[in-house]
Amino acid sequence: MRRNEQVLKQIQDFAQNDANIRAVVMNGSRVNPNISHDIFCDYDIVCFVQDLEKYVNDKSWILTFGELVIMQSNRHDDFPADQFVFLMQFADGVRIDLSFAKMKMILSSMEDSLTVVLLDKDQCIPPIPDPDESSYITKKPDQAEFDLMVNEFWWVSTYVAKSLWRNEPVTAKYLFEVIIRDCLNKMVTWYIAMQHDWQINAGKMGKKFGKLLPPDIWQELLMTYPGIEEEAIWQALFRAGTLMRKVSIPVAENLGFAYHFEEDERVIAYLQHVMNLQKDAQSFD
């Protein structure tokens, strides 16, 4: 596997030898001073260029960086005409996410607080502070966002229950692991941020949960990951409900929000009723 210095030199040499590339920055985890860098850390690179389509129409430049395992490429979601992204996994383990962006994108790109300049041929990049996580601090929800997250959690719980009663475990598992999980993880993220006075980057996809959560909450969260068996999903659903309540209430109190206990209690009673309902029942009574 190439060392960090080798990869950065390859990137800088590639840019230096291409007159179309005028500046290069690196952002993301590789420049984050608050995390440890392992062998799977990506290189998130942005090259600011005069002609964007050059790299889209002729991709032979990719061989400069090694043997590909797989690649994805696409135009930027928000700026399709101004930036193109190549996500590249190489055979030696190095992962480079290389974007080419028009020169006019420089100022907006500098808004990312995790940015360092690798090359600036024309001194077109304004001075920027040392990289930090200020752009990634977890934001406080407002009452409407908080209510929506709690309501969605309990609402979709009824769908999981219905799917389990119908003997549709794949559907139940999907609803639980996609929609309910997203609501629960969002609330856990807010709980972590609250415990750090809303001055922390709680991470994405739960990657920091094990380090930032109190041990008891972390273990309770792990217990919400079920297998495919009906009983396991039921248990995980109720455990998730208990945990959702446990983290939602202090977040609500911290932000001066109301927590709607009556909705929570009604749904729990409904779930218990469905769980105990005979599979051949012709009435909900």
**What's residue 203's pLDDT?**
87
Domain boundary among 109, 135, 161: 135
Question: What's the CA gap between 279 and 38, in Å, rounded?
Answer: 50
**What's residue 83's pLDDT?**
94
Residue 57 maps to which CATH number? 3.30.460.10
Residues 113 and 210 reside in one and the same domain: no
**What's residue 155's pLDDT?**
98
**What's residue 188's pLDDT?**
98
**What's residue 162's pLDDT?**
98
| HSE value, Cβ hemisphere, 13 Å, CA-based, for 60 | 1
In a domain, 264, yes or no: yes
Residues 81 and 200 reside in one and the same domain: no
Q: Count how many domains the chain has.
A: 2
**What's residue 118's pLDDT?**
98
Range of the domain at 141: 137-276
Residues 90 and 146 reside in one and the same domain: no
Residues 8 and 128 reside in one and the same domain: yes
**What's residue 25's pLDDT?**
98
**What's residue 249's pLDDT?**
98
Query: Could you report the average pLDDT of every consecutive run of 10 residues in the chain (285 residues)?
Result: 95 98 96 92 97 94 96 85 95 97 94 97 95 95 98 98 97 98 98 97 92 97 96 98 98 97 96 94 88
**What's residue 139's pLDDT?**
96
Domain boundary among 135, 170, 196: 135
Residues 200 and 248 reside in one and the same domain: yes
Contact 245, 184 (CB under 8 A): no
**What's residue 132's pLDDT?**
94
Residues 85 and 151 reside in one and the same domain: no
Contact 273, 266 (CB under 8 A): no
Residues 77 and 153 reside in one and the same domain: no
Residues 271 and 215 reside in one and the same domain: yes
Is the Cα torsion angle 99, 202, 154, 240 positive or negative in sign? positive
